Amino acid sequence: MAFSMDVMVAKLNNYIGFTGIMGILFAFAFGFALFLFEYIHLFRKNKSSSSGIHKPETEERIVDNSPAAGEFHQDRSTDGSPEVIIVGAGVAGAALACCLGKDGRRVLVIERDLSEQDRIVGELLQPGGYLKLMELGLEDCVEGIDAQRVFGYGLFKDEKRTKVAYPLENLPPNVSGRSFHNGRFIQKMRVKAAKTPNVRLEQGTVTSLIEENGTVKGVNYKTKEGKVIMAYAPLTIVCDGSCSNLRRSLISPKVDIPSSFVALILKNCKLPFPNHGHVILANPSPILMYPISSTETRCLVDIPGGQKVPSIANGEMANYLKTVVLPQIPAELHQDFISGIEDGNIKVATNRSMPATPCSTPGAIVLGDAFNMRHPLTGGGMTVAFSDIVVLRKLLRPLDNFNDAVALNEYLEVFYSLRKPVASTINTLAGALYKVFSASEDQARTELRQACFDYLSLGGIFSTGPVSLLSGLNPKPMTLVMHFFAVAIYGVGRLLIPFPSLQRTFLGARLIWDASSIIFPIVKAEGIKQMVFPVSIDSIL
């Protein structure tokens, strides 16, 4: 009888546990279905009642004045003065100069230093970014620089590892990620820009903007010979990078310092997953590795913003890398890692995050890292920059001239909405993944980190969905939010199986709370309305 009673109690517990789990899953599914129905309903209502939500007049101007494919209006002033001044010839500035020059615009590009730079970021271009590069006609800039093709990521946590691939099946065979020396890539684009008709590339330092009655008319700059010049143009585009000296004159940036990267080169290193980026979920924060040439692998060790960066000069850094970092990387890479430390070519770069702030000053616009930054964990910076250039180029094409600065500024206001699908997806994912992938003493955050690793390890849609977002191939902000909470629900399920306890249920609730506290502030910073109702440029032009 006692045995039968024990069996009955065990079965009853299992039943209660099972029904509890099913109840939670059903509630989540039902809630999500209601949200999806409401989202579709609101979107259709919004579209039918106010399809000009961003553009009561600009939509007509864009449609009515759009030239036929391959044609551009050329009735612009012919006095030789530039129509556009671009400050900075980095990734964004050089690419934009090429495109505007090919479209018949007279462009003056002013770059502080035209020599090849040795930078430790901007070395990985996601497949979505490569597609944008193709759309701009600049894909040849990754040729001849020993760039490496990248097909996905390897993830490492403790003794476990998994591989996730980019969903490239329905794309042209040359589409994949690319990793390279940033300096070589930029030099290729600068050369291409300098050879483009209508483009003049000059080395000089822009000291200030020229403003008249609240409108930017041009820039003051000093040439490398020391000559001070005032250059005028109807439109000035500031692309002078993450440490921009000019953006505070145009926008009110909120720059955050989430962490720093310690960088070194591993030579002739054989990565566990060839032609893949590698993400090691280490303590205190992730370690990245990816090839940047046929013989070199970049290693980036993240150090959180609240932690002191060890000194390179007195040997603290080398000791930190050998004692703290080395034990956490795959064993087959230990010797290459030690050799990279002993080579002595260790560098440190500060990572910055900055939500985009629209520029309201007529006659000027800000682009690239001067305009918008996110944690470089996901390598999405260049994808966002090229996507912005694609949008801006399409907006500018129909305009005969830029002389009416106020009208041009009103016209370009739509740019800030059109860029949101790609930018918001990549920005949100970068910020959320960095927080999830970083170690924490909070047990709920630890469970969320493990759930994310296990979720991606499931394969199928559980990996291709998030990776398509990360790669820029599926820029849908709400799909990102859905997958993020799917990871959280998966983590709760892990806690409640085989049957829930009060302690595990409470931990699951904290996990959901932590997930919400990570994702919602980022979504708010990106703009809730633009993320819920994203607008693509193809729907307008």
CA 375 to chain centre: 8
Where would I find the H helices in 2-157? 2-49, 58-65, 91-102, 127-135
Report DSSP state, residue 373.
B
Burial string for 522-537 (b: 16+ CB within 10 Å, else e) reads bbebbbeebbebbbeb
Provide the pairing of β-strand 199-212 with 215-223.
antiparallel
Residue 121 in tokens: 């970021």
Question: Which among 308, 324, 314, 319 is positioned nearest to 341, based on CA atoms?
Answer: 319
Residues 6+ apart with CB under 8 A from 539: none
H or E stretch at 336:
helix 334-342
Question: Which among 416, 379, 437 is positioned nearest to 121, based on CA atoms?
Answer: 379
Residue 440 in tokens: 């924490």
Q: Which position has the token pair 């800039």?
A: 141
- Please return the burial class of 173, using the count of CB atoms within 10 Å of its CB with bins 0-12, 13-18 and 19+: exposed
- Render each residue's pLDDT in the chain as its tens digit; 541 residues: 444 444 443 444 444 444 444 444 444 444 444 344 444 443 443 444 333 323 323 233 322 222 232 332 333 344 579 999 999 999 999 999 999 999 999 999 999 999 999 989 899 999 999 999 999 999 999 999 999 999 999 999 999 999 999 999 999 999 999 999 999 999 999 999 999 999 999 999 999 999 999 999 999 999 999 999 999 999 999 999 999 999 999 999 899 999 999 999 999 999 999 999 999 999 999 999 999 999 999 999 999 998 999 999 999 999 999 999 999 999 999 999 999 999 989 999 999 999 999 999 999 999 999 999 999 999 999 999 999 999 999 999 999 889 988 888 888 889 998 998 899 999 999 999 999 999 999 999 999 999 999 999 999 999 999 999 999 999 888 889 899 999 999 999 999 988 888 999 999 999 999 999 998 888 888 777 666 666 655 555 5
H or E stretch at 364:
strand 364-366
Annotate 256-283 with DSSP letters as a single string.
EEEEEEEEEEEET---SSTTSEEEE--S
pTM of the model: 0.84
Cα dihedral sign, 49-54-58-63: negative
Q: Which position has the token pair 């280490």?
A: 282
The torsion region of residue 94 among left (phi > 0), alpha (psi -120 to 50) and beta comes to alpha
H or E stretch at 432:
helix 420-437
CA dist., res. 478 & res. 424, Å (int): 10
- Please return the burial class of 181, using the count of CB atoms within 10 Å of its CB with bins 0-12, 13-18 and 19+: buried
Share of the chain residues as helix, strand and coil, in percent rounded to the nearest 5 = 45, 20, 35
